[in-house]
């Protein structure tokens, strides 16, 4: 019987310097293929609002949307852990957060939930983890607040914001978070955070030093209408989709992805 990846597995992988591979999926067919190709964690992300629903941000995504897609993905996964996003305005206080996290896990069958934000989310993360909910935090560029940030911009370039991000990462770990996604963060800052934390860091536009990498599936196979700088098209050189997923998995593990051109310095 294939052994399921857990949060304990991810921490052990960090300790053993084994790269963690994540990829998004939103339906049964892709979930099955991704799981078969050895991806460690499948993210049912609120990115579905852009790549599946055609919106220009993740803001319109609802909890019911994540549940629908998550419960399509999970039954296909024999090995991969499935992470589900708490969407915009679904965790404005600890009680709301734990109620919606419970729905993602009970109805959507997810194994871990992800939320965006630093200091403001500490009480929420602490509340959920005390009640047995595995949590992945998300720092740097937080797409749900893109309108407040003024666009999709690299975060942590300034000394004050970099210091705050490091403080937030440690505080989230202390609150019980099991992993932290770092999005659009300069390489040197991501490296410092990765070395300071005992829990894994998952990079997306944050350099190869992170303990793992995540990409949106549609970016990874080159069918997004506007692919960000930090992605790469692995559906090249005559590969089919399973081969592209396998190539991405191998590139993360041998640290050939991300290359310098997919990083921010």
Average model confidence (pLDDT) across the chain: 96
pTM: 0.96
The percent helix, strand, coil of the chain (3-state, each to 5) is 45, 15, 45
How confident is the model at residue 58, as a pLDDT? 95
Q: Does domain 7-262 match CATH 3.30.2130.10? A: no
Range 98-126 average pLDDT: 98
Are the C-beta atoms of 171 and 124 separated by less than 8 Å?
no
- Percent of residues, the chain, with pLDDT higher than 90: 93
CA dihedral 15, 79, 26, 216 (to 10 degrees): 30
pLDDT(42) > 80:
yes
CA dihedral 36, 77, 8, 135 (to 10 degrees): 130
What is the chain's Cα-based Rg? 17
Residue 183 annotated among the catalytic residues of the structure: yes
pLDDT(227) > 90:
no
Q: Which of 183, 191, 243, 261 is an active site residue?
A: 183
Q: Which residues contact 79 (CB under 8 A, 6 or more apart)?
A: 2, 3, 4, 5, 35, 38, 40
Domain boundaries, the chain: 7-262
């Amino acid at each position: 019987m294939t052994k399921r990846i857990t949060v304990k597995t991810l921490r052990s992988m960090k300790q053993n310097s084994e790269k963690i591979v994540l990829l998004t999926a939103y339906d049964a067919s892709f979930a099955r293929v991704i799981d078969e190709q050895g991806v460690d964690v499948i993210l049912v992300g609120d990115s579905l609002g852009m790549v599946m629903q055609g919106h220009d941000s993740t803001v319109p995504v609802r909890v019911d949307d994540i549940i629908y897609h998550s419960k399509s993905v999970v039954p296909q996964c024999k090995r991969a852990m499935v992470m589900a996003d708490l969407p915009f305005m679904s965790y404005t206080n600890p009680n709301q957060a734990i109620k919606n996290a419970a729905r993602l896990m009970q109805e959507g069958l997810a194994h871990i939930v992800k939320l965006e934000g630093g200091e403001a989310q500490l009480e929420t993360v602490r509340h959920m983890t005390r009640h047995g909910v595995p949590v992945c935090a998300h720092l740097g560029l937080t797409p749900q607040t893109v309108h407040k940030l003024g666009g999709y911009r690299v975060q942590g370039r300034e000394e004050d914001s970099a210091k705050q991000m490091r403080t937030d990462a440690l505080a989230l770990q202390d609150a019980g978070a099991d992993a932290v996604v770092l999005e659009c963060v300069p390489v040197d800052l991501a490296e410092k955070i990765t070395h300071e934390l005992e829990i894994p860091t998952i990079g997306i536009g944050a350099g190869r030093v992170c303990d793992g990498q995540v990409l949106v599936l549609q970016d990874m196979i080159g069918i997004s209408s506007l692919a960000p700088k930090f992605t790469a098209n692995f559906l090249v050189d005559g590969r089919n989709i399973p081969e592209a997923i396998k190539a991405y998995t191998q590139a993360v593990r041998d640290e050939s992805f991300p290359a310098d051109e997919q990083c921010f310095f």
